[in-house]
Structure 1
């Protein structure tokens, strides 16, 4: 007899969940850290192919853009097949792209293999792995995400010198070949992503959305009650509806505001990473000290991931994680505004510490805040869209900042635009929070005056009152 899968009543907040965190940690190492390390190959590509910096720089932009642009594809595969299948398939594609890149004969060849193929492979791995952490954790969610997302900073800190050493020993072709073998470990990470079944949790959204439509026949509720983003048992008749349910949160006002804010956030956070070293060199900082600024930023980024995640899991701050997130984004943007005033190494070090810490802080809270808005059952699909929204700003923000530098002759305009973009993101979220509180206060007297047998069902930010339905049954 086939053994029945055990249904849990709540996320375990531990146990195999820590293996999920470890798997997600190494996924971020193999995706985001490796993407950052691709910039180390720039000089080698320029010399070998005889191309200028702008054409060579498109490789990094295409990898980043492909990873974010195809993130919904990763969510779709994990929802309708499994997270394990999606990550293993992505690992094979990414490793194949890096191996094929070692045989490159032109930059156009690298655009396709290193840019598109590897980027799509990373997309299939990144958002599903992050979503799995949210399904295994509730009380310790922010801490779990802080540890998992720190893989990007730790991986960059370790891989950067290793990749440089590989290039010196085996040339750029050999380094890409070895890097392809390393990225193939994503298949091992995928094997760790054991599915979890939480009793009735996944059905809540389907039922809530059905009950909000008065004219919807009850037979549709029964038919689609098996539609779940963690375990798909949909027939071909209900497959279309299941896909619709995966993205039923898109038109929610809270998600629309959150998604809009990510456009400004993604634009603002990219230029400081790209232009910090060139700016430091332009004000007289030595090459060694400029590189050290990036090392400081990377290490402090890791500290921000873990410590801010731990702090926002405390009882005092857990209710206010949304506010903590927008404060971290706002302070990150504020530090960018002061950057043009810092003209020496001693003043740039505090910037690296401040910007790095709050960058790590808000990155760790992005999945947490998204899960609070859409609910755990839709987290994978929501993260796919969230990372999709990062694609275009990631692609265009460095060229726009470079154009501002070329036009004005300094970095002031580029850093100011970056800072104001992040501050506007925090302002937009804060304004939405205030409006929501005002509406809640206005609705509170109505709720208190209603039938005492009224029930409220919640999942994420979805709220549905069944008072009217109960009254109809009594009649």
Structure 2
């Protein structure tokens, strides 16, 4: 059977990339726009900034801890079915948040329910693309995950305008409707892997006489393992030293991201800049992020994914270290551009890096497991930064600590690659 792709029939993998783009647009456009809701929600519920960020921390915890369990079920039940479930849960969480009458209800609705819905969408959006691409995995993953940057670019300013016009509660209602439409489209487009699709020549390794597929050159004959056997395979990966280094590295690297995304808008206001300047900087991070994911993701296929990931992580750390010294709108926007490009570069490589280091078998589950690092970072970093501000009246210690942590995390990723190579 020929594997050539007809000019009239593009490779369906790019349609899957579009579906995953929509998924990442939704979950991270929503999650990383929390900073524009922070001040209004803190005022309405009479909470400090540190306490208010608990809702975001719980959401992040559920997003990534839920991904550990969700990944197993996506592997077993399929992406489309699970994405439909995630859409329903996420929309219910947003609707419940809009009518919350107590802070505990916000934590349950926005933190727990919305976070669990996001975890399903997250695993599908990030771990599906490597099943369709190998040679161009960095580029395809970059395009798919560029939805994160596009979501930040669109959702944060849109939410700011909505809040000013109709309040934060009605804004969540509007967002729930938009989410439902976008994820319905993604659900209709998504597929698991190209078991019955023609694959472009050279995309995956080919065995002699076999047809190019994402399973080493031949149609996979591996039967679905029992749940117990699958759990054993996943545990074997999790016990490896390289997995531990990646897990710790991601915790350290992404402290910068969570502190910046949650506290940048209010930090801008604290240093005498307008709230709009902070929201614009957050949106610029999103725009630069999208560009970085596509451009740097493409380059990583030729330069080396681990090398690019570590380099971008280091830039994230160094730029965050410099943030306390930036006191003008121009300087803040310059930081946003550099940080956004660097975060886009390493964000594009999360799933391809996982696949490169630990293989494609049980990829959804393994990716969900290592993503638990985001749960720990997202739960603790914004909260500690908020508490630090409440006590010290400044974000400087938080920015400096996060920047140094990211540099150490980049070194851990390089060490993990060297372990896998031996």
TM-score of the two chains, using structure 2 as the length reference: 0.85
Where structure 1 has 5 or more consecutive residues not aligned to the other structure, the ranges are 1-5, 205-224, 440-475
The question of 1:161 aligning with 2:157 is answered yes
Contact 1:39 1:60 in 2 (8 A): no
- The correspondence for 2:107, drawn from 108, 111, 121, is 111
The question of 1:126 aligning with 2:122 is answered yes
Contact 1:331 1:358 in 2 (8 A): yes
Aligned position for 1:401: 385
- The correspondence for 2:410, drawn from 426, 444, 448, is 426
Contact 1:247 1:381 in 2 (8 A): no
Q: Deviations over 1:65-109 (max 9, x none)?
A: 211121112211111211111111111111112223333222212
CA distance in 2, matches of 1:44, 1:61: 17
- The correspondence for 2:30, drawn from 18, 34, 43, is 34
- The correspondence for 2:311, drawn from 324, 327, 344, is 327
- The correspondence for 2:143, drawn from 135, 141, 147, is 147
Shift of 1:345: 3.1
Alignment of 1:2-401 (within 5 A): 15-167=11-163, 170-185=166-181, 186-196=183-193, 198=195, 226-227=222-223, 232=224, 234=225, 238-314=226-302, 317=303, 320-401=304-385
Shift of 1:33: 0.7
Q: Which moved more, 1:357-366 or 1:35-44?
A: 35-44
Number of residue equivalences? 400
Q: Deviations over 1:176-195 (max 9, x none)?
A: 23322222232431232223
Contact 2:149 2:289 in 1 (8 A): yes
Shift of 1:379: 1.8
CA distance in 2, matches of 1:158, 1:181: 15
Corresponding residue SS for 1:139: coil
CA distance in 1, matches of 2:46, 2:298: 48
Residues 201, 89 of structure 1: CA spacing in aligned structure 2 closer, same or farther, 3 A cutoff?
same
Contact 2:35 2:265 in 1 (8 A): no
Higher relative contact order (CA 8 A, sep 6+): 2
Corresponding residue SS for 2:309: helix
Where structure 2 has 5 or more consecutive residues not aligned to the other structure, the ranges are 5-9, 196-210
Please provide the CA RMSD for this pair.
3.0
